Amino acid sequence: MSGSVGEWRATVTVRPGSEKLAAMLERTLRPESEREVPRARAELTRSPADTVVLEISARDTGAMRAALNTYLGWVHLASATANAAGGARA
């Protein structure tokens, strides 16, 4: 990842089950991944089209823990919302 903040890195790969749900998840996470955060950076990609890949780089373990907890919470919330709305069948 270019412009990496530090030495701690994590890659989270989410396969929500369809290209439509992957696009929804990307739209949900994109604004947060583009925010400036002092100790961590996140980058989103979609490859293949039904997969969302989140790469996190952090300066220290505390920043990594916070970033992972935050993004995984948003992934869970987006998934639960899509399921409640019937989007799991998309």
| pLDDT digit string, tens, across residues 24-75 | 999 999 999 998 888 999 999 998 999 999 999 999 999 999 999 999 999 9
Tell me how far apart the alpha carbons of residues 67 and 56 are, in angstroms, rounded to a whole number: 7
Number of structural domains in the chain = 1
* Within a domain: 2: no
Cβ neighbors of 29 (< 8 A, separation 6 or more) are 44, 52, 54, 71, 74, 75, 78
Strands of the sheet with 40-45, listed across from one edge: 8-14, 52-58, 40-45
CATH of the domain at 26: 3.30.310.50
Give the residue numbers spanning the domain of 38: 8-84
* Within a domain: 68: yes
pLDDT of residue 1: 42
Whether pLDDT at 81 is above 50:
yes
Structure pTM?
A: 0.81
* Within a domain: 24: yes
* Within a domain: 90: no
* Within a domain: 89: no
